[in-house]
Structure 1
Amino acid sequence: MTERHLFLKGRSGAGKTTCLLSCLEPYWKGAGGFLTQRLTDGDGETAGFRFLPVENMEVIPSVTRTYEPGIKGIFIERTPEGWRKYPEVFETLGAEILNRLLEYPEQYRFCYIDEIGGVELKVKPFMERLERLLGSPAFCVGVLKHSGNLASLGTRIPLPANAAPDREWLEAQMEQRFGCRILAFDGGEAEKMEIRRIIDLRLSGTTEKGSEK
């Protein structure tokens, strides 16, 4: 069976993003979508999270970088007053990225979506476009935030009302309505081999963007 879309879910630190990026490296020049980049302070501690577009990148970006005030795309930030969230980033930058994937699908080999199921759950412009993308022929591959990770996030920043049930609804829709295969990932070798098999099956025969022009 050919999977329509592939998403991983698992606890923080399991290596979900590392595994996906390793499997996607041979096909990366055709990527569209976004990566959630962890921002660190001078001591290596988490200082925030950034929404990073990946289209037109020749090489896979680092999943972490040093925090600097004013970096574009920050949607969670540690401040002297505590953690702050900026869901409007999904309403602007996030919606723009998904719009490009929807309007120019021929330009992308696959859609990288890492991750969903967090502070954006109540951002209607983003979620509407995400549903349209999952319903399109494009191959989407990425990460769905684990329910436990969402609960942990809620201890640091205020989450939207009903965030947990909304996340569960999203997972159910992804599987039942959009045909996503969602794999629980804990870093096992068998899981990694299966992920690579699915990605290679979907992408190895895909024509490189522009190669037929």
Structure 2
Amino acid sequence: MPDTLSTITVAAATALVTTTATGLIAAPRLEARKRRLGEVHTARDTFGAHMLRIISACEQLQISQLPPDEEPDWTPVMRERLGGERERWWKQIDDATRWLIDNVATYAGSWPTRRLVQMPTIYAHHIRMVVLSERDEVTKLALLLELTVPVQRQYFGWFWSRARHIVADNRAFGATIARISGEPIAP
């Protein structure tokens, strides 16, 4: 009987020490890690959402041009409403690019390879500079799409789409960056 009692006592003490140590040391570290990983994935999701917003707003701006003043079918009220919508879409682009540049360290640094870290960093800088530039609207919209579509496809596209377009997307992205920066484009 004493052997059984001592075995039960040792087992209970071991369980108590293990549970206490796990609760005091391991559990808080695991919870903190879980929170950090959640924040990284939330930032990545927001990165993707902002790129989709930029693509969508650019396409809306391209297809919803204000008609000439002489256009008889457009009333001043309709012109004002469409003008308000266009301003709202530009505001969405401005807000999205501001978030991208302000939070680039959070989402870009979370990918495992250097190329995957550099592309969103370069993208965020150039996309914001295009929005701030004094280029005409048509050129801005074209550049915004040329920058955003390849990056969005490489980070959030379907696997086969990413694999099929990786070379073309990297080439197009690099060519657009070179054109914006005024560098000669290599063949």
Please confirm whether the aligned pair reaches a TM-score higher than 0.5, indicating the same fold.
no
Higher share in helix? 2
Higher strand share: 1
With a CA cutoff of 8 Å and minimum separation of 6, indicate the structure with the bigger relative contact order. Answer: 1
- Give the TM-score of the pair, scaled to structure 2: 0.25
Q: Given the two structures, how large is their TM-score scaled by the length of structure 1? A: 0.22
